[in-house]
Chain A
Amino acid sequence: MPGPTETPGLIKSIIKPFTVTVRQMLKSTFGRPQTTLYPMERRELPPTYRGMNAVIWDLCIGCGICAEVCPNRCLKMKPETLDDDEQARAWYGSHLAKRKSKPERPAINFGHCMFCGFCEDYCPTGAMTMTDFYEMADTTREGLIYPARSLKVDMETLPQLPLINYMMESPVLYTDTCIGCRKCVDNCPTNCIIMDTGPQEREKRDGSKHNIPVPYFDYTICIGCSTCVKVCPVDCLHMEPISDSTSSGLQPAEAA
C-alpha cells in the first residue's frame, strides 16, 4: 500500500493544532460556559415546545379525535360529569345537556406518551394544547396517568375558533339500510346532523305508512370525527374523502 499522500510539517502538524487547543482553553476558562446550572437556571424554550398537555375544557367538545390520532394509544376519552358552571361555559354546552351520554374528556397516560403533538395538531377546536411544562418525573407508573380533570385549564377569554375538519373525511349515508334510529344525532359532538324525511317508508301493522327519517349532514361544521359511523347500529354510514359534493352546506344524504 502507498504511504500518506503528503506529510505535514512541524508547524502544521504540531504548532497549529496546539494554538487551537490553547485558544479554546482560554475561551472556555474565561468566557461564557457552554452549560447551565439546571435547577437554578433553565434554557429558554421556544413557543413551539411540546411539553405536558393541557385541555381547555370550555373549548373541548369531546369528539375523541385526539384519542383517534394518538399513535401510542396513550390518550383515552373518559366520561366526566360537568358541573353547572362548566356546562354553561362549554362551547357546545346546550347541546351537551341534551345528550343522554355523559360528555367525554381526554385523559393521558404520560408513561406511554411520546409528545409527538398529533393530538394538538388535529384538535378541531384548539382545545388541546401543549404547555412548556416538562418536569413530570414520578416515583410510580400510576403517578404518570393523568385523569381528565387534572389536565383541565381555564381561559379568561375564549377564542372563537372555527371548527376545522383536519381528518379530511365526512360521513356519507346508504339510505337503503338506515332505520332512522337517531343515534348519530344524539352522539354528534358538533350537532351537525338533523333528521328529516327520507326516501323509505315503513308499513305498520295497521297498514298505515310512516316515513323513515334519515340524517342530513351540515358539512360546514362536520369535523370528521366518525363518531356517527361508530355508533350506527346497521352500518349505513361510512367515511369518504371531502369532495366538492360534501364540502359545502347542508346536504341531503345520498344513496351511494
Chain B
Amino acid sequence: MAEMWIHMGPQHPMTHGLWNLRIKVDGETITDAEPELGYLHRSVEKIGERRKYFMNTTLTDRLCYASAMTWTHCYCLTAEELMGVEVPPRAKYIRTVVLELQRIASHLMWLASYLPDLGLITGFLYGMRDREMFLNLLEIPSGGRLLYNYVKIGGVKRDLPPGFDAKAERVMQTLERRLKEYEDLYDNSKIFRMRTDDVGCYSASDAINWGITGPNLRSAGVPFDLRQADSYDAYPELDFTPVTTSAGNGRSDCFSRYRQRIDEMYQSMDLVRQALVKMPEGKVMAGSVPVRARGEAFRRTEDSRGEALMYLIGDGTDRPYRWKIRSPMFTTVSAAPHFLKGYKVADVPAIMGSIDMCIGETDK
C-alpha cells in the first residue's frame, strides 16, 4: 500500500497544546513521524533579557501552566548561584514542600489529560477534582492557583501560615485513599491495559541516548533523579531513593510510565511529610539580594517532566545578558519518531499522552 503523511494537529485532541505531529502511515501502521513545534513560541528567553532578574519569575511561571512552581524555582536557583546568594534553611524546606505539592498537582493534571485520551472520561473528572485540593493548598501561601510567583531569588515570598501542615496532611490522606481507588479502576481495567501494555516501548539505553529524562527515563528502570544526583534545597537532608518502574527487560511502555507517575505521587507525599516535620524555624528570605550580577551560572533541577536546566550570563547590569532554558519535553518529543514507529495510528494518543507533553516549556 502506498505510504502517506497525515497531520495530527495543530488542532487535535491528542496534542495537549499547540503542536503538530506528522506521521507517515502504511495502512494503519506508522512508518515515520515528525513533530513540528513552534506554534506556541513566545520568545521567553529574549523577553527575559529586557527585564530585571527578579521580574523574570513571572515569565518562568508561564513556561508550564501545569508546573509553574518548579520552573520558577529552577530560575531562582540559577540566579542565586549567579549572584552568590545563600538561601535560609527554612526557605529551603518551604521550597521543597511546595515543589513536591506542585509535582503531585502536575502528575494529577497529567492523569486527568491522559485518561480521556484512552476513552476514560471519568479519569478527567477524578484527576481534576483531586488536583483542585492541591491548588487550594498552594494558594494558601502564594495567593495564586495557577501562577504562583511564590519562589523568589533569595528565598520564598512569605512564610507558611500556621496550620498548613495539618491541612496538607488532610489533603494527602484523601489523595492516598483516592489513589488506591484509581489503582482499582485503571491498573486492572482490561480496556486500559490493552491500550497501554507494550505500547510505545523504548529501552533504557535508547532513552539515555535520546536524552529522555525524568519520569519517562525512570519508567525504564533507570534510577536517575536529579533531586539526588545533583541535589538542591532540602533534598540532601531527606531520606528517599528514586522510584523506578519497568515493563520488564529494562523497557518502558505506556503502562510503566503511568505506574511511574502514580508511584512518584506516593513518594512526593512522603517527601512533603518529611520536610514538614524537619522544617526549622527562621527567616524565609535572604538578607541582601543583589540586583546586578556578573558571570555565568547554570543549574538543573528535577522538573515534574524531567531535567530542567537554566543558564544565565550576567554582564554586570540588572538584566541578564543571555538566558537559556533547557526544556525536558523538547528532547523527549524529538525522540517521538523512534518510539512511534511500528505502532498503529490509534496508539498515537496513548503514546504521546503517556510522555506528559507540555508545549509551554517546549516552545518557550
Contacts and interface: CB of A to CB of B under 8 A. Distances in A.
**A, B in one complex:** yes
A21 interface: yes
Interface string A121-160: 1000000001000000000000000000000000000000
A29 interface: no
Contact of B139 (A12, A46, A115): A46
Contacts of B3: none
Contacts of B132: 34
A242 B185 CA distance: 59
B194 A4 contact: yes
Contacts of A8: 188-190, 193
Interface in B263-308: 288-292
Max count, chain A CB within 10 A of own CB: residue among B143, B189, B193? B143
Given A17-B184, A241-B292, A48 B55 contact: no
Interface in A227-256: 241-242
Nearest to B289: A168
B51 interface: yes
Contacts of B54: 69, 118
A48 B51 contact: no
Interface residues of B, number: 39
Among B129, B142, B189, B247, residue most surrounded by chain A Cβ atoms (within 10 Å): B189
Contacts of A17: 184-186, 188-189
A49 interface: yes
Interface string A1-18: 111110010001110110
B198 interface: yes
A117 B193 contact: no
Contact of B288 (A3, A50, A71, A168): A168
A241 B291 contact: yes
A71 B189 contact: no
Contacts of B185: 16-17, 20-21
Contacts, number: 87
Interface string B53-79: 011001100000000000000000000
B143 A167 contact: no
A3 B188 CA distance: 15
Interface string B167-206: 0000000000000010011101110011001100100000
A49 B140 CA distance: 8
A179 B1 CA distance: 86
A225 to B, nearest CB: 13
Interface string A83-101: 0000000000000000000
Residue of A20, A116, A130, A242 with highest tally of chain B CB at under 10 A:
A20
Contacts of A20: 181, 184-185
A169 interface: yes
Contact of B157 (A13, A46, A121): A121
A172 to B, nearest CB: 13
B338 interface: no
Contacts of A4: 193-194, 197-198
A168 B122 CA distance: 52
Nearest to A68: B52
Contact of B190 (A5, A14, A130, A167): A14
Given A4-B193, A13-B189, A71 B51 contact: yes
A6 to B, nearest CB: 9
A14 B185 CA distance: 9
Contacts of B17: none
Given A117-B149, A118-B55, A167-B291, A50 B188 contact: no
B143 A241 contact: no
Interface in A167-204: 167-169
A71 B129 CA distance: 33
Given A16-B184, A20-B181, A69-B55, A169 B157 contact: no
A78 B289 CA distance: 30
Nearest 10 pairs of A and B residues by beta carbon: A48-B143, A12-B188, A4-B197, A8-B188, A13-B190, A71-B55, A16-B184, A50-B143, A116-B58, A20-B185
Given A20-B185, A48-B142, A117-B143, 4 more contacts: A5-B198, A13-B188, A16-B185, A71-B51
29 contacts: A2-B198, A3-B197, A3-B198, A4-B197, A4-B198, A5-B198, A5-B248, A8-B188, A8-B189, A13-B189, A13-B190, A13-B193, A16-B185, A16-B188, A17-B186, A20-B184, A24-B126, A48-B158, A49-B139, A50-B143, A71-B51, A116-B58, A118-B55, A118-B149, A167-B291, A168-B288, A169-B291, A241-B288, A241-B290
